[in-house]
């Protein structure tokens, strides 16, 4: 049985490693952005039924990235709140062009050095 992550400070690098491929991050970005647009439209137009489009689009595109590109399970299955927070954090950093240093610190997108904390982290 794998050990649970106990703090958000430990979760954030894990989350980034689970989104190591740019295509996965962009599917999240597009899915969440379009999903939010659908949600806002539902409110503005007073058409509550449209709101179902938000999670369908947002999670649908994100899960394509996880299952089809990353070949991993979405972190939201085990850490729903931290995943939601991290999704918006990652999108904000992407939009502002500031995600790179976070990815580098998390060693996302490349194998961890032998004996590093990233390599020793439990697989989720």
**Token pair of 69 as six digits:** 């590109």
Say whether 119 sits in a helix, a strand or coil: helix
| Residue 19 to residue 72: CA distance in whole angstroms | 9
Q: Which residue has the higher pLDDT, 124 or 50?
A: 50
Burial code (b: 16+ CB inside 10 Å, e: under 16) for 41-55 equals ebeeeeeeebbebbe
Q: How confident is the model at residue 110 (pLDDT cuts 50, 70, 90)?
A: low
**What is the per-residue pLDDT across 60-100, written as a single tens digit (0 to 9) for each?**
999 999 999 999 999 999 999 999 999 999 999 999 999 99
| Residue 79 to residue 4: CA distance in whole angstroms | 9
The pLDDT of residue 3 is 84
The pLDDT of residue 113 is 42
> E-strand spans in 15-96?
none
pTM: 0.80
The pLDDT of residue 112 is 42
**What is the per-residue pLDDT across 6-40, written as a single tens digit (0 to 9) for each?**
999 999 999 999 999 999 999 999 999 999 999 99
């Amino acid at each position: 049985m794998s050990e649970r992550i106990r703090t958000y400070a430990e979760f954030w690098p894990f989350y980034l490693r689970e989104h190591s491929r740019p295509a996965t991050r962009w599917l999240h970005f597009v899915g969440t952005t379009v999903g939010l647009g659908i949600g806002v439209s539902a409110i503005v137009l007073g058409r509550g039924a449209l709101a179902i489009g938000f999670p369908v689009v947002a999670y649908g595109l994100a899960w394509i990235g996880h299952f089809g590109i990353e070949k991993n399970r979405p972190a939201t299955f085990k850490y729903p709140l931290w995943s939601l927070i991290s999704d918006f954090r990652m999108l904000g950093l992407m939009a502002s062009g500031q995600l790179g240093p976070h990815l580098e610190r998390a060693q996302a997108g490349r194998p961890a050095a032998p004996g590093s904390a990233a390599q020793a982290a439990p697989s989720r």
